[in-house]
């Protein structure tokens, strides 16, 4: 039985890319996150807001990338605040002496540098431009916009979800071969 | 090993965290034993990482949009509220108190909200005290008297709350008018010209500009704000062709821009948007009045300014 049934439900919506759910989470967490980091980290209010934005991006990435899945072992709030602390640690801030109630996370959130992210995004954009428009559109729908196979089939007028799935692997293969060609 | 010998489907499920624990362990064992398979997984990791990065970039843009729509103007008030109700503790509280020492505007806002805070707290206590008395009298009075005893109780509660609110209202009104009315702001920000700054008798047009500047300030000091506005505005128009050295040009430009803004603020119908001009100067790095303009911008956005004007 899950310790956080409501958050489990929410994480499913977030993982599915429900924009409304993300917006509500953003609005709900903005104040408590600011208070926490201004209080314990003595951060300037603007810095706390920047950190909040970064932490939300990491949470989004981990949710949509399947790194956080129900049943959760911590609440989403704990997870988000934990990401904030990890981001600060990466910037050399020592958070060990904080007298807070955010435990060490059972699953450390993956925090990638902005530079690495930009480089990865650039690589994929370059490859997408080389595999033809139909493949590009299909892979963007799946991996960028989070469409499920049924929706992809409908959007691209393919006969079935199975056909969309097969096309997806063909297109991925095209991209993967371009990586080998480059390296 | 050629890439088409590996099945993409399990690789995708592995990289996207969609494998059950047992399947994951078995798959990792497979990778351990096959270097080609490991390389294949790494290739796809780059691809999926790139897609995730593109998705993150899109989300980041969305989050910036939400932030722009968030009520950032109330952030400062929220911070003050946390401070006053004790939620802001530890290092954050110390940092906030240090900020108050160096930021007169913030200290003023905290003081004003403290009055509100105490006013509401007193009103709540008064209401609760009367409620206790009401419960007490309800216990000791005969049933028939209960209805009759309510009227004075409610009356006293309303009177107490009204008195507290009235007191708070007078205090806040005084605070708003003495600190945030347009005349009060103009008076607090205006600085008479520093005559020693005007140097360089070898510049023929300097005397004319200096005279224009002195005249504009005289008009300002006599509170002929519309004429002062025109005079500063005219001076700003003459400056580009005056051929002054950089020092004097900068001096007259920044002084006149700032005083023109203050003159506009003092007018019933300002010929320029004071808030917009204050923001512009606040954003002008190196401007002599940048710090003042930042403070003024915040004040023009505060509830006190709206109250007093």
What residue ranges do the domains of chain B occupy? 3-69, 90-180, 186-308
Mean pLDDT value across residues A83-112? 77
Distance between CA atoms of A140 and A125, rounded to whole angstroms?
A: 10
- Cross-chain residue pair A173–B78, CB shorter than 8 Å: no
Predicted confidence at residue B117, as pLDDT, reads 80
The pLDDT value recorded for residue A183 is 44
Contacts (Cβ under 8 Å, ≥6 apart) of B301: B73, B275
Give the Cα separation of B150 and B156 in Å (integer): 10
Q: Is residue A63's pLDDT more than 70?
A: yes
pLDDT over threshold 70, residue A30: yes
Instruction: State what percent of residues in chain B have pLDDT above 70.
Output: 82
A35 touches chain B (CB under 8 A): yes
CA–CA gap between residue B271 and residue B263 (Å, rounded): 10
Q: Please, which pLDDT band fits residue B304 given cuts at 50, 70 and 90?
A: confident
Q: Regarding the domain delimited by A114-182, which CATH topology (the fold level of the hierarchy) does it fall under? A: Arc Repressor Mutant, subunit A (1.10.10)
Share of chain A above pLDDT 70, in %: 92
| pLDDT higher than 80, residue A107 | no
Residue that wins the pLDDT comparison between B205 and B78: B78
What is the rounded distance in angstroms from the CA atom of residue B189 to the CA atom of residue B185? 6
Residue B202: what pLDDT?
A: 59
**Residue A108's pLDDT is what?**
63
pLDDT of residue B227 exceeding 70, the answer is yes
Chain B positions touching A121 (Cβ under 8 A) are 50, 53-54, 56-57
Q: Give the residue extent of every domain in chain A.
A: 5-90, 114-182
The 10s digit of each residue's pLDDT in B256-270 is: 999 999 999 999 888
Indicate if the pLDDT at residue A111 is higher than 80: no
pLDDT tens digits, one per residue of B166-201:
656 656 666 677 778 888 899 888 888 765 445 555
pLDDT of residue B145: 46
Mean pLDDT, chain A, rounded, equals 88
Structural contact between residues B164 and B126, judged by C-beta atoms closer than 8 angstroms: yes
Q: pLDDT tens digit string along B130-145?
A: 778 788 777 766 554 4
C-alpha–C-alpha distance, residues B5 and B280, integer Å: 63
More confident residue, B130 or A125: A125
* Alpha-carbon torsion (B134, B140, B146, B152), positive or negative: negative
Residues B91-130, buried b or exposed e (16+ Cβ, 10 A)?
A: bbbebbeeebeeeebbebbbebbeeebebeebbeebeeeb
Instruction: State the pLDDT confidence band at B148, using cuts at 50, 70 and 90.
Output: very low
Dmax (CA) for chain B in angstroms is 98
- Which chain A residues are within 8 Å of B16, Cβ to Cβ? 65-66
- Cα A158 from Cα A156, distance rounded (Å): 6
Q: Which residues of A touch B62 (CB under 8 A)?
A: 19, 22
Residues 115-154 of A with CB under 8 A from B: 117-118, 120-125, 127, 139, 143-144, 146
- Residue A141 confidence class, pLDDT cut points 50, 70, 90: very high
Q: What local confidence, expressed as pLDDT, does residue B177 receive? A: 73
Amino acid A22: pLDDT = 95
**Which pLDDT score is estimated for B152?**
52
CA atoms within 13 A on the CB side of B45: 9
Residue B144's pLDDT is 47
ipTM of the prediction: 0.84
């Amino acid at each position: 039985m899950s310790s956080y049934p409501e958050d489990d439900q929410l994480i499913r919506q977030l993982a599915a890319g429900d924009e409304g759910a993300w917006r509500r989470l953003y609005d709900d967490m903005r104040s408590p996150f600011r208070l926490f980091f201004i209080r314990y980290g003595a951060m300037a209010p603007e810095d706390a807001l920047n950190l909040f934005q970064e932490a939300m991006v990491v949470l989004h990435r981990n949710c949509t990338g399947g790194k956080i899945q129900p049943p959760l072992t911590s609440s989403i709030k704990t997870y988000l605040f934990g990401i904030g602390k990890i981001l600060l640690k990466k910037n050399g801030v020592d958070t060990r002496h904080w007298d807070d109630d955010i435990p060490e996370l059972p699953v450390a959130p993956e925090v990638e540098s902005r530079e690495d992210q930009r480089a990865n995004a650039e690589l994929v954009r370059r490859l997408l431009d080389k595999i033809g428009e139909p493949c590009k559109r299909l892979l963007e729908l799946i991996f960028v916009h989070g469409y499920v196979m049924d929706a992809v089939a409908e959007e691209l007028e393919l006969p079935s979800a199975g056909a969309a799935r097969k096309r997806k692997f063909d297109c991925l293969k095209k991209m993967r071969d371009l990586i080998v060609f480059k390296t | 090993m050629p890439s088409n010998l590996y099945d993409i489907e399990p690789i995708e499920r592995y990289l996207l965290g969609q494998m059950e624990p047992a399947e994951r362990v078995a798959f990792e064992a497979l990778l351990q034993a096959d270097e080609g398979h490991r390389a294949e997984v790494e290739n796809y990791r780059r691809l999926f990482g790139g897609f995730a990065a593109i998705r993150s970039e899109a989300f980041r843009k969305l989050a910036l949009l939400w932030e722009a729509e968030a009520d950032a103007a109330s952030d400062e008030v929220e911070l003050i509220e946390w401070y006053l109700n004790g939620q802001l503790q530890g290092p954050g509280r110390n940092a906030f108190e240090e900020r108050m020492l160096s930021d007169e505007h913030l200290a003023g806002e905290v003081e004003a909200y403290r009055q509100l805070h105490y006013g509401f707290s007193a009103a709540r206590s008064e209401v609760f005290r009367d409620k206790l008395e009401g419960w007490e009298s309800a216990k000791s009075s005969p049933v028939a008297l209960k209805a009759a005893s309510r009227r004075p109780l409610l009356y006293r509660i309303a009177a107490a709350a009204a008195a507290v609110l009235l007191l708070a209202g007078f205090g806040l009104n005084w605070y708003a008018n003495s600190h945030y009315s347009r005349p009060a702001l103009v008076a607090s920000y205006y600085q008479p010209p520093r005559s020693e700054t005007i140097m360089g008798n070898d510049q023929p047009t300097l005397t004319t500009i200096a005279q224009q500047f002195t005249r504009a300030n005289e008009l300002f000091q006599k509170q002929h704000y519309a004429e002062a506005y025109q005079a500063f505005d005219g001076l700003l128009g003459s400056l580009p062709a005056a051929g002054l050295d950089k020092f004097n040009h900068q001096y007259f430009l920044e002084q006149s821009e700032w005083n023109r803004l203050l003159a506009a603020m003092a007018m019933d119908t300002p010929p320029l948007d004071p808030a917009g001009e204050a923001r512009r100067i606040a954003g002008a790095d190196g401007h002599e009045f940048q710090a003042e303009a930042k403070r003024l911008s915040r004040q023009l956005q505060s509830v006190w300014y709206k109250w007093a004007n």
